[in-house]
Chains A and B, each alone.
Chain A
Amino acid sequence: MAHAATMGHPETYESPLTAGWGKLMMWVFLCSDAMSFVGLLSAYGSLRMFDPSWPVPSSRLDVPLTALNTFILICSSVTMVKALASIREGNRKGLVLFLLGTIAGGLTFLGIQAYEWTHLIEHGLTAPSSLFGATFFVLTGFHGCHVFSGVVYLACIAVRAARGGYTRENNSPVEIAGLYWHFVDLIWILVFTFVYLI
Chain B
Amino acid sequence: MAHKEGEHQEPNYWAVWIALLILTVVELAIFSLHMPRVAMVVSLCALALAKAALVAAYFMHLKFEKYALILVVMSPLLLSAILYVGLVPDAITHVRWLPH
Docked-complex contact B80 and A27, CB < 8 angstroms:
no
Contact partner, B31, options A70, A82, A197, Cβ 8 Å = A197
Task: For the complex, count residues of B whose C-beta is within 8 A of A.
Answer: 49
Contact partner, A193, options B4, B21, B45, B66, Cβ 8 Å = B45
Task: For the complex, count residues of A whose C-beta is within 8 A of B.
Answer: 48
Mark the stretch among A45-53, A113-121, A154-162 that contacts chain B. Answer: A45-53
The B41-75 residues at the A interface (CB cut-off 8 A) are: 41, 44-45, 47-49, 51-52, 55-56, 58-60, 65-66, 68-69, 72-73, 75
> In the complex where A27-B72, A42-B83, A185-B55 touch, is A50 in contact with B13 (Cβ < 8 A)?
no
Over the window 152-194 of chain A, the binary record of Cβ atoms lying under 8 Å from chain B Cβ atoms (1 yes, 0 no) is 0000000000000000010000000011001101100110111
Contact partner, A198, options B40, B56, B75, Cβ 8 Å = B40
> In the complex where A17-B72, A19-B6 touch, is A50 in contact with B55 (Cβ < 8 A)?
no
The B61-100 residues at the A interface (CB cut-off 8 A) are: 65-66, 68-69, 72-73, 75-76, 79-80, 83-84, 87-88, 90-92, 94-95, 98, 100
Which A residues are CB-close (under 8 A) to B76?
Answer: 31, 34-35, 38
Contact partner, A74, options B6, B24, B60, B75, Cβ 8 Å = B24
Docked-complex contact A67 and B20, CB < 8 angstroms:
no
Docked-complex contact A182 and B60, CB < 8 angstroms:
yes
Which A residues are CB-close (under 8 A) to B24?
Answer: 67, 70-71, 74
Complex: A194 Cα to B45 Cα, angstroms: 8
* Pairs A–B under 8 Å by Cβ, sample size 9: A19-B4, A46-B91, A52-B98, A58-B31, A67-B28, A75-B17, A80-B59, A178-B60, A197-B44
Chain B residues within 8 Å of A, Cβ to Cβ: 4-6, 10, 13-14, 16-17, 20-21, 24, 27-28, 31, 40-41, 44-45, 47-49, 51-52, 55-56, 58-60, 65-66, 68-69, 72-73, 75-76, 79-80, 83-84, 87-88, 90-92, 94-95, 98, 100
Chain A residues within 8 Å of B, Cβ to Cβ: 14, 16-19, 24, 27-28, 30-31, 34-35, 38-39, 42, 45-46, 49-50, 52, 58, 63, 67, 70-71, 74-75, 77-78, 80-82, 85, 88, 169, 178-179, 182-183, 185-186, 189-190, 192-194, 197-198
